Amino acid sequence: MRKIVRLAYILTLFILIDLTATLYWIANDLGHEANPIMEFFLNISPLLFVITKLGLSGVGIWILYYFRKRFTTIIFRALLILNLIYIGLFVYHLWGLLFLLFTTT
């Protein structure tokens, strides 16, 4: 049970890192939002993008947390997969940052 809670906290951290990095890339015209649904909200307003991202992520994590006792194995696996996906996004953002740092004079 504690593993599920830890994975939920780690996922939340990765979501916040992705949100911050995405806003940085967009604000500096260095990238674009890859998710077409989130891009729709970003085109309307960066604030709406943040509210939507945090709202949808928060509801999703709450649902996983709420059902953690009933579907322990499924929730644990889902959180593992989501964390792996966000680790990939983190590495992608980090690669972009390192590329930017080493190619800019």
Per-residue pLDDT of the chain (105 residues; tens, 9 = 90+): 789 999 999 999 999 999 999 999 999 998 899 999 999 999 999 999 999 999 999 999 999 999 999 999 999 999 999 999 999 999 999 999 999 899 976
Domain count, the chain: 1
Distances 73 to 4, 23, 37, 61, 88 between C-alpha atoms, Å: 9, 34, 29, 16, 23
Distances 48 to 38, 43, 75, 78 between C-alpha atoms, Å: 10, 9, 29, 27
**3 state DSSP class of 11:** helix
Tell me which residue range forms the domain holding 37: 2-103
